[in-house]
Copies of this chain bind each other. A is one copy, B any other.
Amino acid sequence: MMASNTEIQIKENGVLDDTSLDVAAAESFLQKSMAIILEDAVKKAVDVRQKVCEWRSPEELKDLLDLELREDGESETRILQRCRDAIRYSVKTTHPHFFNQLYAGLEPYSMAASFITEALKPSVYTYEVSPVFTLMEDAVLRKIIQVLGWEEGDGIFNAGGSMSNMYAMNLARYRCFPEIKEHGNSAAPRLVVFTSQECHYSISKAAALMGIGTKNVIVVPADKRGKMIPSALEEQIKSAKNEGAVPFMVNATAGTTVLGAFDPIDEIADICEKYKLWLHVDACWGGAVILSNKHKHLMKGIQRVNSVAWNPHKMLMACLQCSAFLVRDKTRLLQHCHSARASYLFQQDKFYDLSYDTGDKSVQCSRKPDAFKFWLMWKALGTRELEHRVDRALVMARYLAEQMKKREGFKLVMEPEFANVCFWYIPPSLRDLPDCPEFWKKLHNVAPLIKERMMKKGSMMVGYQPHGGRANFFRMVVISPQVSKQDMDFVLDEIHSLGMDL
């Protein structure tokens, strides 16, 4: 229609001349922003003398950031200032005093790999658009499979461990009832999955999303250290079967979120073999122990399981996100379970070996090359240094626990077996109270108040939570080799100083 109107045509084509991006200006902007990033988001962020965070309430921060998006754009100077502000008011998760999550610290090789992928903007689905990252993902997966002691296997990097756990549940379901892929769960019996009370909440989220239902996630009791009790699991399996439900999967956790507990994989595997259930291990947090000759006994039996989720972005410090899902299988289950065979993306008449087009193993379409972040740091550090990092984290946990025993007012929730050190700080005002409900009720309020004070001061960040019937307690986790014994002493001094008047 427009084509027949030459005048409009010419006018419109004018648009094609006047808007070419000024590439030189873009490069110059990137250079300037990079200088800011290296100075403020790397150098200053990891400097122990700087704050972990510069706390502002949501209302204050909204004012400071001027969030509104307008008709007109802004100058380069203004945008560079916005970069500085975004960094300034963000939490510095690479700071040596950030202990708030199960990730922390600066890992330069992985960070460089991140920057490279952001600049190249690849999506890993076909070899033709991601040749390098496809091969690197394959190499990393193969290496992990070898470390796990599996003879064969397949895998994929996902956007987080929650997704990996969901993949496990989908594969487990597909193995039992492949027809569900086409016909849905409504044609199937009531399927049930088993997991311990200490498991990550993603198991429940996966069951909800997958049409299995959160009530069909059967919670198995854990012992006082937080480990699943195998005999209780078997009880639950029997009782579910008696009710007419169909068990199809057990999720064991290697490194629970709060207590850092490892479920006894070998004993659980015996039960799974007996009842022909898929055994998945959520090792997102604890999986790194497999690299440690000293600590890999925590995952004894891992060579027998069906699938594993492991996040190198946690203990091994790969940049967020770096989440591997592995399946012990040689039947291309991942492909069969997830494939949709989109002909516009996975053309069958390409000129190279199509087994390198891995995208149809995923439920995502575009997918980031997260494996590269792990590959580059593994190359730089070697397996030995990765092992050392794990060992060091566990020595640090024990050091911290010992220091707490030497100090008044610190009480361990339990002796650490892994990297999680869970403890209460008891202010002087509560120290003489007897161990009664009143004491615990008062103690419950202490951690949130200390947390508020440390955030507002910006001196450090440590997570706390209630847990089962327990009053709020802190969970310390030291991941980064930046963190020294002196930092541990600082943490304990600081908690005391923030909470002594409570």
Q: Mark A64-102, 1 if CB is under 8 A from B, else 0.
A: 010111111110001100110111011111100000110
Minimum C-beta distance from A69 to chain B (A):
5
Whether, in the assembled complex, A436 has its beta carbon less than 8 Å from a beta carbon of chain B, the answer is no
- The answer to whether A120 and B340 touch (CB under 8 A), given A131-B90, A364-B160, is no
Once the chains bind, are A109 and B166 in contact (CB under 8 Å)?
no
Q: How many residues of A contact B (CB 8 A)?
A: 190
Tell me if A368 is interfacial: C-beta within 8 Å of chain B. yes
Query: Which residue of chain B has the shortest Cβ distance to A165 in the bound complex?
Result: B365
Interfacial chain B residues near A205, Cβ < 8 Å = 338, 340, 363
Chain A 394-421 interface 0/1 with B at a Cβ cutoff of 8 Å (1 = within): 0110110110010000000000000000
A132 to B91, CA, bound (A): 9
A216 touches B466 (CB 8 A): no
Given A90-B130, A344-B465, A365-B200: A58 in contact with B106 (beta carbons within 8 A) = no
The answer to whether B20 touches A482, judged by C-beta atoms less than 8 angstroms apart, is yes
Shortest Cβ distance from A349 into B: residue? B448
Say whether A83 contacts B376, CB under 8 Å: yes
Interface pick from A184-192, A231-239, A263-271, A425-433: A184-192
Contacts of A132 in B (CB 8 A): 61, 65, 85-86, 89-90
One digit per residue, 1 when the CB lies within 8 angstroms of any chain B CB and 0 when it does not, for chain A 163-194 equals: 10010001001000000111111111111000
Tell me whether A364 and B130 are in contact (CB under 8 A). Answer: no
Q: Quick one: which of B27, B258, B375 contacts A43, CB cutoff 8 A?
A: B27
Q: In angstroms, how far is the closest chain B Cβ from the Cβ of A401?
A: 7
Contact of A184 among B207, B342, B484 (CB under 8 A): B207
Known: A56-B131, A186-B185. A364 touches B320 (CB 8 A): no
- The contact string, 1 if C-beta is below 8 Å from chain B, for chain A 191-202, is 100000000111
Answer whether residue A388 sits at the interface, using C-beta atoms and an 8 A cutoff: yes
Cα of A46 to Cα of B342 in the assembled complex, Å:
30
Q: Which residues from 201 to 226 on chain A have a C-beta closer than 8 Å to any C-beta of chain B?
A: 201-202, 204-216
Is A151 close to B, CB under 8 A?
Answer: no
User: Does chain B have a CB within 8 A of A241?
Assistant: no
**Chain B min CB distance to A366 (Å):** 5
- Give me 14 A-to-B residue pairs in the complex whose CB atoms sit less than 8 angstroms apart, sorted by A's number: A3-B401, A15-B395, A21-B105, A61-B132, A79-B379, A101-B129, A103-B366, A184-B190, A186-B188, A201-B341, A205-B340, A214-B340, A349-B445, A351-B455
| Closest A-B pairs by Cβ, 5 of them | A211-B211, A184-B213, A185-B211, A159-B159, A73-B382
